[in-house]
């Protein structure tokens, strides 16, 4: 929202070697990356990169959640993707951003200067390969999201969304309770954002969530925290697509 609030900038280096994305890189590549890396911290609501900007950096998330979104000229907002810890954000090799990238929560980012990174890519095949694979994974995720949005009923889209959340260890944890395991998922955004994300309205989201609860498929601990009580039931709700939950 607030383009004017500048992020806090520290010269402290990131611990890139700990990021899963970079772990497979040879040491020299990591060192080269580290040299052009700066940490930026944002508060919830701040804009990281604005639509049609030519940002000077790209990077990955150390902590927090970013929201990629497009605001249509008529005022409606569509969330295109949520980025969580260890995800890369921004776009190398592209001048203009096609989306707003905003901090959905307070966030700490490892940022690389765009030009320096592109130089590095051209000289370091291992690094370029890493970025290629990373973009391929993002493409998979985007296509999975397309399938989700292709579901006609909101209840189906919500079920599919929860299944995708279940797959992310950062947002889901197994909870041992009484008789059997539960999966606890944390939804990092509010109802209105979730509605934009799923192509509907906050009221409809609310009704769909409570419908799942009424059927005993989930339990609502608080508006942002659910327990999955009936995983097969949830999968059935999503059109039996398990969204990779049983993927080896």
Partner DNA sequence: CGGGCGTTTGAAGGATGTCAATGATAGTGG
Partner DNA sequence: CCACTATCATTGACATCCTTCAAACGCCCG
Q: Applying CB under 7 A, which residues contact DNA? A: 152-155, 190-192, 199-210, 220, 223-224
Distances (CA, A) of 100 to 49, 126, 150, 212, 234: 6, 30, 23, 32, 32
d(CA 86, CA 38): 15
**223 near a second copy, judged by CB under 8 A:** no
Closest approach of a second copy to the CB of residue 150, in Å: 4
Q: Which does 208 bind (CB under 5 to 8 A by kind): a second copy, DNA, none?
A: DNA
Distances (CA, A) of 167 to 77, 190, 248: 26, 20, 12
Binding mask 51-90 for a second copy (x = CB under 8 A): -----------------x-x-xxx-x-xxxx---------
Q: Torsion angle of alpha carbons 124, 125, 130, 135, nearest 10°? A: 110
Nearer to DNA, 125 or 223 (CB): 223
Burial class of residue 27, CB neighbours in 10 A (0-12, 13-18, 19+): exposed
Binding mask 109-138 for a second copy (x = CB under 8 A): -------------x--x--xx-xxx-xx-x
Tell me the two tokens of residue 127.
């690094």
Buried b (16+ CB within 10 A) or exposed e, 134-161: beeeeeeeeebbeebeebeebbbbbbbb
Pick one of 2, 5, 10, 98: the residue that binds a second copy (CB under 8 A). Answer: 98
Residue 113's H or E segment, with its range, is strand 107-113
**142 near a second copy, judged by CB under 8 A:** yes
**139 near a second copy, judged by CB under 8 A:** yes
Nearer to a second copy, 140 or 181 (CB): 140
Polymer length in residues for the chain: 248
Closest approach of DNA to the CB of residue 69, in Å: 15
Pick one of 44, 86, 186, 200: the residue that binds a second copy (CB under 8 A). Answer: 200
Q: Which residues make beta-bridge pairs with 225? A: 186, 222
Distances (CA, A) of 175 to 184, 197, 228: 7, 27, 10
d(CA 49, CA 102): 7
Closest approach of a second copy to the CB of residue 110, in Å: 20
| Contact window for a second copy (CB under 8 A) among 30-38, 53-61, 196-204, 212-220 | 196-204
Closest approach of DNA to the CB of residue 190, in Å: 3
Tell me the two tokens of residue 153.
């009923």
Which residues contribute to the site for a second copy (CB under 8 A)? 68, 70, 72-74, 76, 78-81, 91, 93-94, 98-99, 122, 125, 128-129, 131-133, 135-136, 138-140, 142-147, 149-152, 196, 199-201, 239-241
């Amino acid at each position: 929202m607030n383009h004017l609030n500048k992020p806090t900038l520290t010269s402290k280096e990131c611990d890139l070697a700990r990021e899963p994305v970079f772990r497979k890189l040879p040491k020299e590549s990591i060192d080269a990356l580290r040299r052009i890396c700066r940490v930026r911290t944002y508060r919830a609501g701040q804009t990281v990169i604005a639509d049609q900007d030519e940002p000077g950096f790209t990077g990955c998330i150390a902590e927090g959640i970013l929201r990629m979104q497009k605001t249509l000229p008529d005022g409606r907002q569509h969330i295109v993707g949520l980025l969580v810890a260890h995800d890369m954000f921004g776009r190398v090799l592209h001048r203009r951003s096609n989306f707003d990238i905003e901090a959905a929560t307070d966030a700490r980012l490892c940022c690389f200067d765009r030009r320096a990174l592109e130089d590095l890519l051209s000289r370091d095949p291992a690094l370029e390969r890493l970025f290629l694979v990373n973009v391929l994974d993002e493409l998979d995720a985007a296509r999975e999201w397309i399938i989700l949005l292709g579901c006609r009923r909101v209840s189906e889209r919500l079920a599919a969304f929860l299944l995708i959340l279940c797959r992310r260890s950062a947002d889901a944890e197994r909870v041992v309770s009484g008789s059997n395991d539960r999966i606890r998922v944390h939804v990092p955004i509010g109802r209105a954002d979730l509605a934009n994300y799923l192509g509907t309205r906050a009221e409809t989201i609310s009704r769909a969530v409570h419908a799942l609860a009424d059927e005993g498929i989930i339990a609502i601990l608080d508006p942002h925290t659910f327990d999955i009580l009936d995983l097969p039931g949830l999968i059935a709700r999503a059109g039996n697509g398990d969204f990779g939950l049983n993927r080896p």
